[in-house]
């Protein structure tokens, strides 16, 4: 396996909404062939699903939830070489948007991965709701056929998706920017204390997308219902990311 992480992203910081942490980052990841499938959701329903420590982040009064399938490569601690069957695997997230003070971020309802090691590690270190799933990602022409099946709690996803426009960087203030330009995640640790985990990446190289969602029970597994068709679709071919260790929120 070739470690092709683009370390030049560490110098690309002008777009960030706040400064990078002064502490050393600890991990690299590369996200490939990613689909952002978005739906609006009742903010009252969402409020009951998100810990009270985190404020819902709304766009023009609307709450959003996303199902995000992609393929991970270059997953490795800082300074450690990538390893076959360890550093690359499919992943599928269900997420919404929250903030603490002036820092908008992401809250995950679930993160499915085709790697038992990644699931065990993320649960132990970060208390994130990771689950092991059977997952396949297959190119079909210029499209991606993505399938995921989780046994417990049961959740399935099957969609075919592809980009349909040229890459563009989202403009600050737009809905696309609001939904994608996020530089931290929020969660509770194993003792119920809130934390923030910072990440860094270049501006998203988004493309408009189309998708045929054949089966999607990912949000239902977390007690929420989505329409059969997403309201907004974007594709990203690649995004290189570094991450820091969590920091407690006072």
pLDDT beyond 60 at 130: yes
Burial letters 100-116, b for 16+ CB under 10 A, else e: beebbbbbbbbbbbbbe
Q: What is the rounded CA–CA span in Å between residue 71 and residue 32?
A: 5
Quick check: 84 pLDDT over 80?
A: no
pLDDT digits (tens, 9 = 90+) for 85-94: 789 999 999 9
pLDDT tens digit sequence for 38-59: 999 999 999 999 999 999 999 9
What is the predicted pLDDT for the residue at 246?
97
Q: Is the pLDDT of residue 96 over 90?
A: yes
- What's the whole-number average pLDDT of the chain? 96
Range of the domain at 151: 7-248
- Read off the pLDDT of each residue in 17-40 and give the average, rounded to a whole number: 97
Number of domain units in the chain: 1
Q: List the CATH number of the domain containing 198.
A: 2.40.400.10
Query: In this structure, what are the phi and psi dihedrals at residue 180, rounded to the nearest 5 degrees?
Result: -120, -35
| CA count, 13 A, side-chain hemisphere, 228 | 3
Q: Do the domain assignments include residue 1? A: no
Average pLDDT over residues 160-186: 98
pLDDT at 2 exceeding the cut of 90: no
Bridge partner list, 184 = 198
Q: Any bridge partners for residue 197, and if so which?
A: 185
Whole-number pLDDT of residue 82: 86
For the residues 10-20, what does the mean pLDDT come to? Answer: 97
Report the C-alpha gap between 156 and 150 in whole angstroms: 6
185-200 mean pLDDT:
98
* pLDDT tens digit sequence for 197-217: 999 999 999 999 999 999 999
Is-contact 127 190, C-beta < 8 A? yes
Residue 62 belongs to a domain? yes
DSSP, residue by residue, 28-46? EEEEEEEEEEEEEE-HHHH
In a domain, 2, yes or no: no
- What would the DSSP string read from start to end of the chain? ------GGGGG--TT-SSPPPSSPP-EEEEEEEEEEEEEEE-HHHHHTTS-TTSEE--BTTBEEEEEEEEEEEEEEETT----TTTS-EEEEEEEEEEEETTEEEEEEEEEEES-HHHHHHHHHHH---EEE-EEEEEEETTEEEEEEEETTTTEEEEEEEEE-S--BPPPTTSHHHHHH---EEEEE-TTS-EEEEEEE-PPP-EEEEEEEEEEE-TTGGGT----SS-SEEEEEEEEEEEE---EE--
């Amino acid at each position: 396996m070739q470690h092709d992480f683009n370390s030049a992203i560490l110098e690309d910081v002008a777009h960030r909404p706040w400064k990078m942490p002064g502490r050393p980052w600890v991990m690299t990841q590369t996200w490939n062939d990613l689909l952002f499938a978005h739906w609006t959701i009742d903010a009252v329903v969402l409020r009951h699903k998100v810990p009270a420590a985190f404020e819902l982040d709304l766009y023009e009064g609307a709450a959003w939830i996303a199902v995000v399938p992609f393929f991970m490569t270059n997953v490795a601690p800082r300074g450690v070489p990538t390893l076959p069957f360890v550093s690359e695997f499919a992943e599928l997230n269900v997420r919404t948007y929250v903030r603490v003070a002036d820092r908008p971020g992401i809250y995950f309802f679930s993160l499915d991965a085709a790697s038992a090691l990644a699931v065990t590690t993320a649960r132990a270190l970060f208390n994130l709701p990771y689950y092991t799933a059977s997952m396949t990602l297959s190119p079909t022409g210029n499209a991606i056929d993505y399938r995921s099946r989780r046994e417990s709690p049961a959740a399935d996803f099957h969609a075919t998706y592809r980009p349909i426009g040229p890459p563009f960087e989202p403009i600050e203030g737009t809905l696309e920017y609001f939904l994608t330009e996020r530089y931290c995640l929020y969660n509770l640790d194993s003792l119920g204390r809130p934390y923030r985990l910072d990440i860094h990446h270049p501006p998203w190289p988004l493309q408009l997308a189309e998708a045929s969602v054949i089966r999607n029970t990912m949000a239902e597994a977390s007690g929420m219902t989505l329409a059969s068709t997403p309201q907004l679709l974007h594709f990203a071919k690649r995004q290189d990311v570094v991450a820091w260790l969590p920091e407690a929120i006072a």
